Copies of this chain bind each other. A is one copy, B any other.
Amino acid sequence: MAKGDISKEFIIEASMPIFNTNGYNGTSLQQIMDKTGFTKGGIYRHFDNKEALAAAAFSLAYKKMKAAYFEAFDASDAGAARLLKFLELMKTFLLRPPVKGGCPILNSSTEVDDTNEALRKLVKAAAADWETIMIGFFEAGKQQQQFAPQLDATKEARFMIASIEGAIMLCKLHRNAEYGLAAIDVLSERIRQLQQ
The residues of A with any CB-CB pair to B shorter than 8 Å are 21-23, 25-26, 105-107, 109-113, 123-124, 127, 152, 154-156, 158-159, 161-167, 169-170, 172-174, 179-180, 182-183, 185-186, 190
Cα–Cα, bound, A146→B162 (Å): 27
Known: A111-B26, A111-B110, A186-B159. A124 touches B169 (CB 8 A): no
Quick check: A182 and B154 within 8 Å, CB to CB? yes
Report the copy number of this chain in the oligomer.
4
Quick check: B163 and A159 within 8 Å, CB to CB? yes
Of A127, A154, A179, most buried by chain B (CB within 10 Å of CB) is: A179
Interface of A (DSSP majority class): helix
Instruction: From B25, B154, B164, B172, give the contact of A166 (CB < 8 A).
Output: B164
Residues of B within 8 A of A111 (CB): 23, 26, 110-111
Cα–Cα, bound, A150→B185 (Å): 16
Cα–Cα, bound, A110→B102 (Å): 10
Which residue of the partner chain B has the closest CB to A174? B124
Of A26, A107, A167, A170, most buried by chain B (CB within 10 Å of CB) is: A170
